Amino acid sequence: MTEPSTLQDRLIAQFDAMPPQMQIAAKHLIDHPQDVALMSMRDLARRAGVSPATMTRLAQFLGASGYEDLRHEQAETIRRGEGFAARALATPHSAPEALVQQVLEELARHVATLTQPETLASIAAAARALSKARRIFVLGARSCHAIAWHFHYVMSLLGERTRHLDGPGGTGPDALMRAQPGDMLLAISVSPYAAAGLELAAHARTQGLGVVAITDSAVAPLAGLADHLLVCPTASPGFFHSLTPAMALSEALCALLAESDRAGALAGLERSDAQLRALGTYATAIPRRPG
Amino acid sequence: MTEPSTLQDRLIAQFDAMPPQMQIAAKHLIDHPQDVALMSMRDLARRAGVSPATMTRLAQFLGASGYEDLRHEQAETIRRGEGFAARALATPHSAPEALVQQVLEELARHVATLTQPETLASIAAAARALSKARRIFVLGARSCHAIAWHFHYVMSLLGERTRHLDGPGGTGPDALMRAQPGDMLLAISVSPYAAAGLELAAHARTQGLGVVAITDSAVAPLAGLADHLLVCPTASPGFFHSLTPAMALSEALCALLAESDRAGALAGLERSDAQLRALGTYATAIPRRPG
DNA sequence: AGTAATATGAAACAAGTGTTGCTTCGCGTG
DNA sequence: CACGCGAAGCAACACTTGTTTCATATTACT
C-alpha cells in the first residue's frame, strides 16, 4: 500500500541500511534524480565515482528487478512534468511563504540580470586584470565581509596570490604595506558604505594598485576610484539589502580566474586537498544517522 | 551563432523539405519531444512506425552528426526545466564570457529552484522555529563560514539573539557552553563536509538544541540530525561548488525572521543605526574622485 | 585473534544501441 | 522502354549497455 512514494523518498528511507559504496551511489541519485533517465547507468556511475555493479545492486536493493526499472520509473516521472516544472501554479500561500517566494524570485531575477552582455564583458575584463596581478588584496567591510572572505577562501585553495585585508585586532590593513606595483585590490562595498573600507581602498589607489570594485551603483563611492566596476543589484522585498547577487559575481570571478590558469588551479587544488585530507578536515564517509 | 532555436522549431522549419518517411518521424519528435531523451531510438522509431535508419537520417538532415546529438540536446533541455527557457539569445561570446554566462545562468536557475512550494514551506517552518528560539547559535565551517557570518551579522543588527560559533584561537565553540533548552542551532554545511562543523552540530544536538540545517543534499551528514532541513543546490559549471543558493536561503530566513517581529526588528535596527552613525562608520556623502 | 559474513571492483557476458553500406522499390524523364 | 535517382528497408557492423560471476578486500563478531 505504500507505493506512491517517489524514488528519492525510497532512497532516503533505506539510506541508512546501505553499505558505504551504495550510499555514495544513492546520494548521487538523490541529488540528481533526473539523470537516472537522462544518461546511461555507466556514465552516472562514473560521475558518482562508483562501480557500475554498485548501481545494479542499488536498484535491486530497492526491490526493483534491475536498474532499468528505475530508469522507466524516472522517465515516467519526467513525462508527467513532476521533474521541476511545477511553477506558477496559483499559490495559496500563507503570508510568510508568500514573502519568501517574493524574496527568492527577486534574487533569481537579479542574478539573471547579471547575464546582460555588457555585464558579462565587465566581469571578463575584471577577471583578466586580476589574473595578471602579482597579488590580489581583498577588502570588504561589515556586510561585505562575507563576500570578501569567500573570495579569498576560494582563491586560497588555488594558491598564494590573495591577501585578505582583515583580521583580529584591527591589523587587517597592515598587509597593504607590502603592496607592490602590479598588485591589485578587489574591493566590495554596498550601501550603507562602510567608511573604513572606502578609506583603505582610496589609500591603496594612491599606492598605485589597480582596483576592481563590486558595488551596488555606478555612482557608489567606490565607483570613482575603480579601474573595473562591477555593479550588482541589492534591492529586496525583505528588510535588508541582498548580497546574493554580489556573491554570484564573486563566484563568477573565481570561476574565470581558475579557468584562466587551469593547470595551475588544478595543481593548487591538489596540494590543498592533500593537506586537508591528511589533517582529517573533511568527513570522508557518509555517516550513519544517529538512531 | 550556434543554435538559436529549439529542436522542435528546427523540425518544423525544415519539415516541408523532408521526404515522406522522414516527415512521419519528424512529426513524432515534434509531438513527443521528451521521448527523444527518455527512450532508445529504436523504440521511438518503432512507435513512430519508421525504420531506425530514418531516425539517423533525420538527425543528420538537421545538421547534427547523429541521433545522439539530438538526445543530448533534449536531455539538457529537460534538465533545465523546459517549461520556460530564457535561452540562447544569439551570444557570440568570447570563451570567458561564455563561461561567466553559464555560471550565472545556472546560479539564477538554482535560486529559482528554491521557490518550489515544498521548499518554501520548509523555509517558512524553519523560520518559525528560529523565531521562537531564545538564542540562535550559528555554525558554518570553512566555505560555509561566509554564509554563517552573514546570517549572524544581519541578525546582530536586529538584536542580541544570535551567537556565532567561531572566533580567533579556536574558542568559537565555547559559546555553546551557555546553551539552554529552547535555544536553536543554525548549521550550514556543504560538500566537502568539514568534520569540525559536523561534530559540533552533533554535540549541540545532544545538548537538546533544535537544529536547522542548510546543506546540499537530503542525505548529507547534517541531514540526519536536523529538525528542519533546507537543501540548496551547489552544482556549477565552474571549478567550485557554489554558495550563492545557500546565501539566498540565508537571506530568505533573515527576511522572515525580521518580518515575524517587525516592531522589534525596527527598534533594533534603529538602535544599531544610531550607534553606527555616531561612530562615523558609514560614509555619508559620495566622495569625489581623488586627483 | 580467527572466522564467518559481507562488500567491492575487474572482467566476462549477452542483449541492445546507433550507424552504415547495400539493395530494392517507385516513379518521372528522355 | 530502359534509365537514372532519390527514398526506404534490411542486415551486418562496431560499440555500448546493464547484468552477472568470481576472486579479493573489508568488516563484524565471537
Facing B248 at nearest CB: one of A87, A104, A240? A104
**Residue pointed to by grid coordinates 555560471:** B103
Q: Which of B100, B114, B158 to mutate to test the interface with A (most CBs of A within 10 A)?
A: B100
Could A30 and B217 be called an inter-chain contact, meaning their C-beta atoms sit closer than 8 Å?
yes
Facing B195 at nearest CB: one of A100, A237, A282? A282
Instruction: Name the A residues in 238-267 with CB < 8 Å from any B CB.
Output: 238-240, 242-244, 247-248, 251-252, 254-256, 258-260, 265
User: How far is residue A122's CA from residue A170's CA, in Å, rounded to a whole number?
Assistant: 33
Written out in words, the top-level CATH class of the domain with range A7-79 is: mainly alpha
Return residue ranges of chain B for CATH 1.10.10.10. 7-79
Rounded distance in angstroms from the CA atom of residue B61 to the C1' atom of nucleotide D8: 15
Residue A54, CB, less than 7 Å from strand C? yes
Instruction: Name the B residues in 224-243 with CB < 8 Å from any A CB.
Output: 224-225, 236-240, 242-243
Q: Collapsing DSSP states into helix, strand and coil, what is residue A137? A: strand
Could A149 and B154 be called an inter-chain contact, meaning their C-beta atoms sit closer than 8 Å?
no
Return residue ranges of chain B for CATH 3.40.50.10490. 112-278
Q: Look at residue B81 in the predicted model and tell me its pLDDT.
A: 67
Q: Which of B191, B247, B289 to mutate to test the interface with A (most CBs of A within 10 A)?
A: B247
Q: Look at residue B94 in the predicted model and tell me its pLDDT.
A: 72
Q: Look at residue B85 in the predicted model and tell me its pLDDT.
A: 41
Could B83 and A78 be called an inter-chain contact, meaning their C-beta atoms sit closer than 8 Å?
no
pLDDT in tens, B84-102: 344 444 455 677 888 999 9
User: How far is residue B144's CA from residue B140's CA, in Å, rounded to a whole number?
Assistant: 5
Q: List the grid coordinates of A79.
A: 513525462
Q: Which nucleotides of C are covered by protein (CB under 7 A)?
A: 6-11, 16-21
Using CB atoms within 10 Å of the CB of residue B287, give its burial: 0 to 12 exposed, 13 to 18 middle, 19+ buried: middle
Put simply, whether A129 touches B (Cβ < 8 Å) is: no
Beta bridge partners of B138: B164, B186
Count of helix runs (H) and strand runs (E) in chain B: 12, 5
Is the pLDDT confidence value at B248 over 60?
yes
Q: Would you place residue A279 in the very low, low, confident or very high pLDDT band (cuts 50, 70, 90)?
A: confident
Return residue ranges of chain A for CATH 3.40.50.10490. 98-278
pLDDT in tens, B128-138: 999 999 999 99
Q: Look at residue B239 in the predicted model and tell me its pLDDT.
A: 83
Which residue stretches of chain A are H helix?
7-14, 20-31, 35-38, 41-48, 52-61, 67-79, 95-113, 117-132, 145-158, 195-206, 244-260, 262-278
Query: Rounded to a whole number, what is the distance in Å from the CA of A1 to chain B's nearest CA?
Result: 24
Q: Look at residue A285 in the predicted model and tell me its pLDDT.
A: 56
Whether the CB-CB separation of A193 and B282 falls below 8 Å is answered with yes
Q: Could you say which residues 44-63 of protein chain B have a Cβ atom less than 7 A away from any atom in strand C?
A: 52-53, 55-57, 59-60
pLDDT in tens, B250-268: 999 999 999 998 898 888 8
In CATH terms, A98-278 corresponds, of 2.130.10.10, 3.40.640.10, 3.30.479.10, 3.40.50.10490, to 3.40.50.10490
Facing B78 at nearest CB: one of A30, A78, A283? A78
Q: Look at residue B91 in the predicted model and tell me its pLDDT.
A: 52
- The overall average pLDDT reported for chain B is 88
Least reliable range by pLDDT among A127-141, A226-240, B72-86: B72-86
Rounded distance in angstroms from the CA atom of residue B13 to the C1' atom of nucleotide D8: 23
Instruction: For the sheet with A184-189, list strands across it.
Output: A162-164, A136-140, A184-189, A210-215, A228-231
Put simply, whether A193 touches B (Cβ < 8 Å) is: yes
Mean of the pLDDT values across residues A64-82?
Answer: 90
Residues of A in contact with B205 (CB under 8 A): 290
Topology of the domain comprising B112-278 = Rossmann fold (3.40.50)
Which residue is nearest nucleotide C7, judged by alpha carbon to C1' distance? A19
Is the pLDDT confidence value at B290 over 60?
no
Could A108 and B100 be called an inter-chain contact, meaning their C-beta atoms sit closer than 8 Å?
no
